[in-house]
Structure 1
């Protein structure tokens, strides 16, 4: 609450100064520049994100560069995951009546208390032996000068803070900062606006138009994509500060609230012409993705984590990073050799017939068994994904040194045991399969792999978020080519970058490609193939993921069947743009 009050006071001061004469400003203690800078920091303190916390923690391990700390930090994350799982299990067991329920509760509580005791011991050990780790895992807000120093010459930063009464935006480049206030977009109005656009992205498109691929819209209500609303959001969130981004080609965004569930790529930069259902509605629309390659971060401080600590070579650290003691980083990130360019898993063996050409599936609740394990029969009944097989075959042909597991080889055992070495050595990691959102009870989001005959703790055919978090990666780019991999529940207003995105940041990824809604199997195959083609095109910077995704989106849109943003815009790059 104190943060909100200070932010409100600072913004009020900005508004007051804006209306004063030059002589009055000279007599005022606060200046527009100082207030803009203070409000920029206050806004950051108001943002809480699990994904940002994940980035900070893994970057702290790499920055400290001590094997003993690495083991302790890994154990700590495992204990936290176990603690959270046991808390959910205890909650479930309280609903189990009788002696059996009482016995299970007692056993689970004993394990829970043992876990808490060990976690306390590990925390004390880390605090005593590695005090810098605590500082790195509790990052502070970056000042304007610090943020500017971490930006590249061709980048801009857009910070959007959704407040109950209004939305505040800041535009930052290496040499400029501007701010604006959208009074008509408080939290309630923003949530309604995003919900309206998301509805048209997940249930829209005219089924009567033979020029639009009906795959992911079959049997659903017809709602035209509201280009006027998409343009209105652009005029409130980007346009007021866009002069700061003049000449920039990449825009890094940090957004809050309902906006975390909406890719800003779908904002229209010009007022729409003609009907939203007209045959040329989409081909004549100018989108934000046409103007900038886009990447999003869970917090502004994530820039420091990504560009100062999570780099493969100390020489690649941003010039805006603080001095680094010793050669700790070189001894961690460089220790992993690139034995594989890519490790990819997907196209699991499933018995269900492909439905509507999408990678949609029930929530995780729909596939869980009696306990913590997935029901392998329910998993096996999910629709087969022919597009996933085509996608991974294309990547295999592009990267001959890649490790690609499909069909019977795409198992949880391979991911968590057999292929851990390849995963830790790969520059790119891809999962192409069904992604399930978190359930309404205790079920975690996760990725579907080929189910075993019998579910075990080691392999139940479902790679949950907590299991993914325990992988050890050095990947620059993790692609979750599935449905709804961005959010924990996919609802506007919720934590939009949690669940699987957070898990893969914990595992060590520098950037993660995630989706915001049910995706077309065929269009997604084309999008991922085109993105990787752009990554290693002659003369391209193989590390520039944001621009490669921008190229992939444009290639998909060139096919009139996929001109609707539901097909080309579901994916967002979270993390280092390149």
Structure 2
């Protein structure tokens, strides 16, 4: 029914807008504004994502504020993780006909059925005892008026729905609403354009003459020039037609679908390109969308309500546009101890040469050993990250009273056990290390920590997404200063903002900074340290403060001629609350 309504609204809206614009509005309910509003809500149903679901669940638990619910919700999350892990294990076992695999398959199937049955019981218990939680976790589309009420006075929202035949775009601010249809950018054309841009972003400066190039010393022409014409075309068809709604605002929040989930909007150019795409001088002079707005992205429009209404402990800090709390118990004060400014982990002890000076590695499949644990030998052989160590040492100097674990101290056991309580009190959380993408259904994305001598369930040197989801955070800002942390598989058109981003939202983060491709170790060190310097220069709680910090970090990278190519500065995206 939703799909039919969406097709009707979107298919007829362009024609109806033209008709009504040319003549006085007839006496009918389906005015252009009404159809546009209905299509806006219908589009949100088509954009539902795992990341949005994770944010809704943790915000609902937070809003309800009941200890009994917290225990049930935590058990529910553990059961979901167990069910999914057992399903992956079953997939692996069904691929083998050995006798041992057949026996293990039966045991695993029994365990999976028990987890599913218990999950049903917990869901029924939550529904009966805490109806407000169930209401908050149900997907809900915001109306245009509700969206406008939640936006700040200096914010705009860009909603982009990619369909097979065309792309539909909404621009919204408190004062205005604009709508447009990009007829030449259906799903196939959008994917082709994004693939072309990502090809130059993920290979620029990587290989030349058969040798890896260290971006610290490489200052010549890029191996793959960035296609500014395509980047400008996307701007003119997706942003410019609705920009009147938020032009002049400082922060732009985007919700996108399809292939666009793998492309940071910061790389869109706001003017026709001049000069050669391969010339650093031309790239340095190019006006980018990130120059015009501090950018943040959300997995869904409804995430705006989750972040600004339910994931706020102090009622005074809730958005004036929030709906009244229904059936919610006042949240108890945090008694875990004093707020910690920063908890940071990274620069693991690895023996590989930093051959490309990047924080990229093979997929998770390539480091897995027997069963579910990582192979500590393969992890240990990954390239060392000198820039990561410098980055964390700089942060340690900036925040002397904080928790910073470097090298031998940066272990999975520290994150999940020894420092778990301190981590739960941290305002900012940073992981500066290798990020590994999921390579198959059985190997999760994750972060590389210092490997132990022997892998155990408690510590195999690999903090997987499901393990990260079990952390208990109260962080305003989580920075995943690593490669490929934005999506589950890195392929355009896949589930956007899943994998590690979803896991840290699930754990309780209000915003997560993630990367879309293999990042330069040195450039990333400059970006992260500059972003935190800007964060300190601005008052906490200011609108858009974290989005502006990322914008300042990008400017710092671009200030160096050798890093003019967006491959060096555009990989990171802020997901969640802009500030």
TM-score calculated relative to the size of structure 1? 0.96
SS of corresponding position for 2:358: coil
SS of corresponding position for 1:184: coil
Q: CA deviation at 1:29?
A: 3.3
Please name the residue that 1:548 is paired with: 549
CA contact (8 A) 2:222 2:565 kept: no
Matched, 1:123 2:126: no
SS of corresponding position for 1:341: strand
Task: String of CA shifts for 1:209-230, please: whole Å, max 9, x gaps.
Answer: 9xx9746999x99321000100
Matched, 1:271 2:283: no
Q: What are the within-5 Å matches in structure 2 for residues 131-530 of structure 1?
A: 131-205=131-205, 214=215, 222-325=223-326, 328-331=329-332, 334-530=334-530
Please name the residue that 1:105 is paired with: 105
Q: CA deviation at 1:324?
A: 2.0
Count of aligned positions: 573
Alpha-carbon distance in 2 for matches of 1:23, 1:492: 42
Alpha-carbon distance in 2 for matches of 1:472, 1:540: 22
Q: CA deviation at 1:313?
A: 1.3
CA contact (8 A) 2:161 2:169 kept: yes
Alpha-carbon distance in 2 for matches of 1:66, 1:460: 34
Please name the residue that 2:573 is paired with: 572
SS of corresponding position for 1:36: helix
- Classify 1:293/1:535 alpha carbon distance in 2 versus 1 (closer, same or farther; 3 Å): same
Further displaced range: 290-299 or 35-44: 35-44
Q: CA deviation at 1:17?
A: 2.7
Please name the residue that 1:86 is paired with: 86
Q: CA deviation at 1:132?
A: 1.2
Q: CA deviation at 1:540?
A: 7.3
Unaligned runs of 5+ in 1: none
Unaligned runs of 5+ in 2: none
The CA RMSD measured in Å over matched residues stands at 2.1
CA contact (8 A) 1:361 1:382 kept: yes
CA contact (8 A) 1:51 1:501 kept: yes
Task: String of CA shifts for 1:244-265, please: whole Å, max 9, x gaps.
Answer: 1122000000000000000000
Alpha-carbon distance in 1 for matches of 2:495, 2:540: 34
Task: String of CA shifts for 1:452-486, please: whole Å, max 9, x gaps.
Answer: 11100110000000000000000000000000000
Q: CA deviation at 1:328?
A: 3.3
Task: String of CA shifts for 1:499-528, please: whole Å, max 9, x gaps.
Answer: 000000000000000000000001000100
Alpha-carbon distance in 2 for matches of 1:523, 1:221: 15
- Classify 1:537/1:228 alpha carbon distance in 2 versus 1 (closer, same or farther; 3 Å): same
Q: CA deviation at 1:329?
A: 4.9
CA contact (8 A) 2:280 2:564 kept: no
CA contact (8 A) 2:425 2:474 kept: yes
CA contact (8 A) 1:149 1:174 kept: yes
- Classify 1:335/1:154 alpha carbon distance in 2 versus 1 (closer, same or farther; 3 Å): farther
CA contact (8 A) 1:359 1:519 kept: yes
Alpha-carbon distance in 2 for matches of 1:335, 1:557: 43
Alpha-carbon distance in 2 for matches of 1:381, 1:569: 28
TM-score calculated relative to the size of structure 2? 0.95
Alpha-carbon distance in 2 for matches of 1:216, 1:434: 21
- Classify 1:58/1:217 alpha carbon distance in 2 versus 1 (closer, same or farther; 3 Å): farther
Task: String of CA shifts for 1:142-192, please: whole Å, max 9, x gaps.
Answer: 000100000000000000000000000000001211100000000000001
SS of corresponding position for 1:308: helix
Q: CA deviation at 1:280?
A: 1.2
CA contact (8 A) 1:160 1:168 kept: yes
Alpha-carbon distance in 1 for matches of 2:109, 2:19: 63
Alpha-carbon distance in 2 for matches of 1:465, 1:157: 29
Q: CA deviation at 1:26?
A: 2.3
Further displaced range: 119-128 or 365-374: 119-128
- Classify 1:114/1:7 alpha carbon distance in 2 versus 1 (closer, same or farther; 3 Å): closer
CA contact (8 A) 1:437 1:488 kept: yes
Alpha-carbon distance in 2 for matches of 1:216, 1:44: 46
- Classify 1:205/1:273 alpha carbon distance in 2 versus 1 (closer, same or farther; 3 Å): farther
Please name the residue that 1:16 is paired with: 15
Q: CA deviation at 1:137?
A: 0.7
Matched, 1:48 2:36: no
SS of corresponding position for 1:545: helix
Alpha-carbon distance in 1 for matches of 2:66, 2:538: 39
Alpha-carbon distance in 1 for matches of 2:402, 2:280: 41
Alpha-carbon distance in 1 for matches of 2:71, 2:315: 22
Alpha-carbon distance in 2 for matches of 1:475, 1:328: 22
Task: String of CA shifts for 1:190-242, please: whole Å, max 9, x gaps.
Answer: 00100000000011259789xx9746999x99321000100000001100000
CA contact (8 A) 2:280 2:562 kept: no
Task: String of CA shifts for 1:113-134, please: whole Å, max 9, x gaps.
Answer: 2212221221111111111111
CA contact (8 A) 2:343 2:404 kept: yes
Q: CA deviation at 1:103?
A: 1.8
